[in-house]
């Protein structure tokens, strides 16, 4: 095992050195490589047990209250950890023109892994090429989903930009962007989900034979950004019914997004609204079940049939404001997300894992932060996030929460130091 690991390291180093040598000898059309990244150290403290992963690095929200025989909530327990797993490195590559377009590429990785069981192992974040013409851009590879707008996402200290209020998704994709004016552009993207997939079978999008399709419009005059995104995806959950009859029935779902950013000399303000069906691929509340009434649910013939599907709907709203100081920067994030149930009579398909965070009624977060930039490369600071998670106790036939528990409250505190290169 150690020998194989050493061989892999030598191959990677050889590739990098070969590329560097080429870049210094290629003449008029060199390939150049520029490394970048950061080392991040964090202290995490929680006052209530919560849903999280990667030893707490990816924090979501407080767990559902659980009471002992005396009525005490056993989840009221503090937790402490120290981590450096989000530290990352990457390389930006530029090379000769192709078809009259400037060519660049990016490869980026961190130690976050793709599952709790593999935490501290290497994970691919980005691997894409970009062709840039005067008014047209083409991206091919693995990078952020279009709903993760790179110039309008929460600037929180906490990892993953305020998930589950804001989408978190990186996927293999084709994205074509066209500038129609200096301040107006449109893009169309076709994606296949990778490790950020929808709740349910891992291959359900692949089995549908159809990509996740997204259209985005952006208006971006000086100091202002306005944009909208609309998308649709298909999933194929099963090949055969409970009655052993072949099926290729798909379940489709849409997502809608509006975002804006206002930049002034003292502060930057960002706003976003998301609404859609089965947004579980964004690590948000979502999922789907069988389209059927309670009477259908107790009928074995229904479960053996080729039934239709019903999606859960989700609403999410957030705003983020921060100062633009280059030395001491303050910020404030506020977010709200809610489970809106389904448009159709909904039956949970037990054991299928088709729901994500669907026992939540609503969740909100308020988190002030402070960052001190000791130099261009070194910063440290703190964030305290107040979470209130309200869980549903009862649902109507469309799985919309009708009665809820008292909120579960957590204070999620982060102290950090970061060296950027």
Looking at residues 229-253, what average pLDDT do you find? 96
Same structural domain for residues 234 and 89?
yes
Q: How confident is the model at residue 85 (pLDDT cuts 50, 70, 90)?
A: very high
Same structural domain for residues 25 and 96?
no
Looking at residues 276-300, what average pLDDT do you find? 97
- Each residue's pLDDT tens digit, 24-55: 444 556 899 999 999 999 999 999 999 999 99
Tell me what pLDDT residue 16 has.
54
Model pTM above 0.85: yes
Looking at residues 58-79, what average pLDDT do you find? 96
Tell me what pLDDT residue 28 has.
54
Tell me what pLDDT residue 124 has.
94
Same structural domain for residues 402 and 259?
yes
Tell me what pLDDT residue 31 has.
92
Instruction: Return mean pLDDT, the chain.
Output: 93
Looking at residues 297-319, what average pLDDT do you find? 97
Same structural domain for residues 101 and 17?
no
Same structural domain for residues 22 and 88?
no
What is the extent of the structural domain holding 16? Answer: 1-29
Say yes or no to pLDDT of 214 above 50: yes
Say yes or no to pLDDT of 21 above 50: no
Same structural domain for residues 73 and 59?
yes
* Domain CATH code at residue 180: 2.40.160.10
Q: How confident is the model at residue 274 (pLDDT cuts 50, 70, 90)?
A: very high
Among 188, 108, 167, residue whose Cα is nearest residue 143? 108
Specify the number of domains making up the chain.
2
Same structural domain for residues 19 and 35?
no
Same structural domain for residues 21 and 95?
no
Looking at residues 279-293, what average pLDDT do you find? 97
Q: How confident is the model at residue 377 (pLDDT cuts 50, 70, 90)?
A: very high
Same structural domain for residues 165 and 240?
yes
Say yes or no to pLDDT of 23 above 70: no
Same structural domain for residues 6 and 107?
no
Same structural domain for residues 88 and 24?
no
Same structural domain for residues 215 and 187?
yes
Say yes or no to pLDDT of 20 above 70: no
């Amino acid at each position: 095992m150690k020998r194989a690991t050493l061989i892999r390291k030598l191959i990677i180093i050889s590739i990098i050195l070969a590329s560097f040598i080429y870049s210094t000898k290629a003449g008029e059309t060199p390939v150049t490589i520029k490394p970048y990244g950061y080392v991040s150290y964090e202290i995490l403290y929680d006052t209530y047990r919560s849903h999280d992963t990667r030893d707490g690095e990816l924090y979501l929200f407080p767990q559902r209250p659980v009471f002992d025989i005396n009525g005490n909530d056993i989840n009221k327990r503090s937790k402490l950890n120290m981590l450096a797993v989000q530290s990352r490195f990457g390389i930006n590559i530029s090379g000769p023109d192709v078809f009259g377009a400037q060519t660049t590429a990016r490869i980026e990785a961190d130690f976050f892994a793709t599952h709790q069981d593999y935490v501290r192992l290497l994970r691919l974040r980005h691997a894409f090429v970009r062709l840039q013409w005067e008014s047209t851009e083409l991206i091919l590879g693995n990078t952020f989903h279009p709903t993760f707008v790179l110039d309008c996402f929460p600037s929180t200290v906490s990892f993953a930009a305020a998930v589950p209020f804001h989408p978190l998704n990186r996927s293999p994709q084709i994205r074509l962007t066209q500038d129609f004016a200096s301040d107006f552009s449109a893009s169309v993207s076709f994606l296949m989900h990778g490790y950020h997939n929808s709740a349910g079978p891992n291959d359900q999008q692949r089995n549908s034979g159809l990509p996740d399709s997204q259209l985005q419009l952006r208006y971006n005059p000086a100091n202002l950004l306005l944009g909208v995104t609309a998308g649709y995806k298909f999933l194929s959950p099963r090949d055969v019914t409970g009655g052993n009859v072949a099926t290729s029935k798909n379940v489709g779902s849409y997502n809608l997004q509006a975002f804006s950013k206002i930049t002034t000399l003292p502060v930057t303000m960002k706003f976003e609204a998301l609404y859609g069906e089965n947004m579980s691929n964004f690590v948000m509340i979502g999922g789907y079940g069988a389209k059927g009434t309670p009477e259908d649910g107790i009928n074995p013939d229904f479960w053996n049939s080729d039934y239709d599907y019903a999606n859960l709907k989700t609403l999410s709203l957030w705003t983020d404001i921060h100062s633009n100081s280059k030395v001491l920067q303050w910020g404030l994030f506020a977010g709200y997300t809610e489970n809106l149930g389904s448009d159709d009579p909904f039956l949970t398909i037990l054991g299928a894992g088709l729901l994500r965070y669907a026992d939540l009624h609503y969740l909100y977060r308020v988190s002030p932060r402070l960052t001190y930039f000791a130099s261009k490369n070194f910063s440290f600071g703190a964030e305290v996030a107040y979470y209130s998670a309200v869980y549903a106790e009862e649902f109507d036939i469309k799985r919309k929460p009708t009665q809820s528990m008292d909120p579960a409250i957590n204070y999620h505190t982060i102290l950090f130091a970061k060296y950027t290169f």
